[in-house]
A and B are shown apart, each in its own frame.
Chain A
Amino acid sequence: MNTETNKQGRYSEVYQLNFGPQHPSTHGVLHMLVEMDGETCIGVDTKIGYLHRGMEKLLESRTYLQGLPYTDRLDYLAGVNNNLPYVLAVEKLLGVEVPARASLLRMLTCEIMRLASYMVGVGIYIMDLGAVSGVFYPFQEREYALDCMSALCGARMTQSYIRYGGVQADINEEFDVAYQKLVAETPRFIEMYHKLVDENEIFLRRTKGIGVISAEDAMDYALTGPNLRASGVDYDLRRDAPYCLYDRFKIEVPVLTAGDCYARYVQRMLEVEKIFQLIKEIYAALKEEPAGEIMAKIPKVLKPAAGEAYAQTENPKGIMGCLVASEGKLNPLRVHFRRPSFDNIAIFEKIMPGHKVADLVSIIASFDIVLGEIDG
């Protein structure tokens, strides 16, 4: 290794490295302009917008029901979770009371898709660090979760299952079969995956102490979701500001303090266990709930009252917010989404300098970003 420095105290001339937009470990079309000194990164300029589809503008020209499927395409790993804040915000304007059964179904599907999203998060992380076999098992597990959604509403990824005033369909026998399969497979998967990854020497070397985020920085940069909780801030909207019927359940939130890449991985794996517990509890509650309405009485043509409504939900990637401004017309005046990945990656410019270029891959992957959500 070259340890001699030149007059400016550098190992080499400062040069720029283009990382992306087409790169296997940028999870899509993220582009980073990295200033390098030898192998070390000294400055990062994150360039986004390569998947900016102008969704917020399009929603202004669509009616409320036409606009709903667009939200699935934001964080496409967990479609249902994106429907929820938009629907909640519109329901605030409509003043609709949602039936309890529909709320439980919403929570159940959200948790199932949260599990599926975490599977992609940990699986792709391991793959980006070079262990290709680490991605097969989570994706297999994800298929069981997608089977549940497929049985429930027919779509694998972009479901649009949550509708204004309720949900699209009630659970059926096919769902029960898929659900039993999911319940049977998940504990085995969790145990196996811990054995496969947790103690792996290469994995530990590439993640421990890399990309450390202090709790103050995490709060200042408005990190949310598992990335925030891995830095030692105990904040989960499902418990702290409950929506739907989450206040009926005891939400356990694991919190780690290290704040490095390894902590973010362990945080996700710990949360997978809690999510799995929650899925079972919600399913049991749903079975006890008497069969009844899954849709509230809402008008065929939606014309919410004029005003601005804001709703927040806890999504797999962090806190998703949705602002709906209405003028009492058929289409909204303005729809805005707070997209958690967008806010999460703003901290890259602060934490990346000082790391080697291979560590950048580790940091990006540990954040579990989705470009559809970042660019909107």
Chain B
Amino acid sequence: MALKTNILFPRRVGMPEGDPANTHDLLTPEELESRGILFTSLDKLFRWGTGWSLWPLQFGLACCAIEMICTTQTRFDMSRFGFEVFRNSPRQADVMLVAGTITEKMRPSVELLYHQMPEPKWVIAIGSCAISGGPFVDSYAVVAGADKVVPVDVYIPGCPPRPEAIIDGMLQLKAKLRHPERQKVVRDVK
């Protein structure tokens, strides 16, 4: 049994033991939650809120950027999940979607954009080029993956990934935000 003392509702003086009106100090946190009362830490609340209002940086590099735009358009509509506020300035964004091939010429700009974003910030690598260099990995001008330049939180495979996959990737980031204790995503595959 969980500890049943309740600092928010101290025991009323003069109430007999076992009185139904005294149930408030017998409720577990789960029972309280079912009555609309939540207990949480500020950190958890913050992460919960962030998960619902990620502001991605509007930053397209190559083919995957077009699928990223498709994801925000009518059919797939990423705004359903609260990710629609694409910011043009890195100063206002907190998620960087690396959508496409990072080339050696573009690398300094990508680094600069990442450093210009305020903390806390996350990076999603969209497509095989951003994951590992993809089909261009042995080229003289291509950086082999976004994680050689910036720390990456979520990888979305595909060349380019379908919009559904991009939405799934964003939801994975949300799950990571809400459950930082999880080391990696484990799925039920039947």
Whether B113 contacts A157 by the Cβ 8 Å rule is no
The minimal Cβ–Cβ distance linking A374 to chain B, given in whole angstroms, is 11
Whether A76 contacts B105 by the Cβ 8 Å rule is no
Q: A292 at interface (Cβ–Cβ under 8 A)? A: no
The residue from A52, A77, A157 contacting B103, defined by CB atoms under 8 A apart: A52
With contacts A52-B141, A53-B142 taken as known, whether A28 is within 8 angstroms of B61 at the C-beta atoms is yes
Whether B63 contacts A53 by the Cβ 8 Å rule is no
Contact digits for B53-84, partner A, Cβ 8 Å, 1 yes 0 no: 00000111111011101100111000000000
Which positions 34-79 of chain A face chain B at CB distance < 8 Å? 49-55, 57-58, 61, 69-70, 73, 76-77
The minimal Cβ–Cβ distance linking B137 to chain A, given in whole angstroms, is 9
With contacts A50-B106, A57-B139 taken as known, whether A73 is within 8 angstroms of B73 at the C-beta atoms is no
Q: A227 at interface (Cβ–Cβ under 8 A)? A: no
Q: A139 at interface (Cβ–Cβ under 8 A)? A: yes
The residue from A23, A51, A52, A136 contacting B100, defined by CB atoms under 8 A apart: A51
Q: B162 at interface (Cβ–Cβ under 8 A)? A: yes
How many residues of A are counted as interface, with CB atoms below 8 angstroms from the partner's CB atoms? 33
Whether B58 contacts A49 by the Cβ 8 Å rule is no
Contact digits for B84-102, partner A, Cβ 8 Å, 1 yes 0 no: 0000101000000000110
The residue from A21, A49, A53, A139 contacting B136, defined by CB atoms under 8 A apart: A53
Residues of B within 8 A of A58 (CB): 135-136, 138-139
Residues of B within 8 A of A51 (CB): 61-62, 100-101, 103, 106
CB closest residue in chain B, given A23 = B88
Whether B103 contacts A24 by the Cβ 8 Å rule is no
CB closest residue in chain B, given A25 = B88
The residue from B66, B73, B106 contacting A135, defined by CB atoms under 8 A apart: B73
Residues of B within 8 A of A50 (CB): 103, 105-106, 109
Contact digits for A10-21, partner B, Cβ 8 Å, 1 yes 0 no: 000000000001
With contacts A58-B139, A158-B160 taken as known, whether A140 is within 8 angstroms of B63 at the C-beta atoms is no
Whether B66 contacts A53 by the Cβ 8 Å rule is no
The residue from A52, A53, A156 contacting B162, defined by CB atoms under 8 A apart: A156
Q: B159 at interface (Cβ–Cβ under 8 A)? A: yes
Using CB atoms and an 8 Å cutoff, list the residues of chain A in contact with chain B.
21-24, 28-29, 49-55, 57-58, 61, 69-70, 73, 76-77, 120, 135-136, 139-140, 143, 156-158, 371-372, 375
Q: 5 A-B contacts, Cβ less than 8 Å apart?
A: A51-B106, A54-B139, A136-B73, A140-B73, A371-B62
- Given contact pairs A73-B135, A139-B74, A143-B74, a sample of 7 additional A-B residue pairs in the complex whose CB atoms are under 8 Å apart: A29-B61, A51-B100, A51-B106, A139-B69, A139-B70, A157-B160, A371-B62
